[in-house]
Amino acid sequence: MHTYEEDGPAVVVDAAALARVGTALADESRRRLLLALLAAPAYPSELAERLGLTRGNVSNHLSRLRDCGLVRAVAVGRRVRYEPVDPKLAHALAGLAALLPPADHDGGEANRDRAIDDADDAAIPEGVLRG
């Protein structure tokens, strides 16, 4: 844990939690799955079909997102539906993304545009990634 004090109350940042988020967001398929789940809870088979991934791949990535603490599995009858652990997650990720300046080298601009396109493809509610 790290504590920072500037012009206001102290802010505590959990470095281990940041590492888990970094691990979760480091993979494009996990980012796409997370963005899709921010739009609406879903079953793995639905996510696989919608995102053009194999069911095995989706299951593996959902397990990693769950291990990172970003999504949870909810039993619905004999099926398992996935959803974000907290509705504030979308706002937190949007706030983090808004702090970063657009990259102007090494393809950063293209990566940002692709992330926005992925968000559109995953039917993210208007404004979640764009501010």
Average confidence (pLDDT) over 47-57: 96
Are the C-beta atoms of 71 and 31 separated by less than 8 Å? no
Sequence-distant (6+) residues with CB within 8 A of 98 are 131
Domain count, the chain: 1
Residue 82's domain is classified under what CATH number?
A: 1.10.10.10
Full-model pTM = 0.71
**Pick from 64, 74, 68, 67: nearest CA to 40:** 74
Give the integer Cα–Cα distance in Å for 32 and 28: 6
Q: Is residue 2 part of a domain?
A: no
Q: What is the mean pLDDT of the chain?
A: 83
- pLDDT band for 36, please (50, 70, 90 cuts): very high
- What pLDDT, in 10s, does the model give residues 64-80? 999 999 999 999 999 99
Domain of 59? 30-92
